[in-house]
Amino acid sequence: MKKSTLYLLMLIMSISFFPSTMTAAASNPSNTPATAPSEVPAHVQVQLDRLKEIKAMNKSDMTSSEKKHFEKK
């Protein structure tokens, strides 16, 4: 008898907690991702340009130490 009461109590608690956490997560605006800024900062643009330059390089004739140099940056 005690086990069935315990199981019933656990079932009621789990049913009551699950919908409340689901609605709290859906209505919380802090969980939504921020919109991307329309303007990229200058230092970020410099890094993106450097990344594009490195990707455009022909790395097949480089030594392994030269390749590692680009991985660190």
36 conformational bin, left if phi > 0, alpha if psi -120 to 50, beta if neither: beta
- Residue 10 confidence (pLDDT) above 70: yes
Mean of the per-residue pLDDT values of the chain:
77
Closest by CA position to 55, among listed 73, 41, 37: 73
State pLDDT tens for residues 45-54.
Answer: 999 998 898 8
State pLDDT tens for residues 30-46.
Answer: 655 666 667 888 999 99
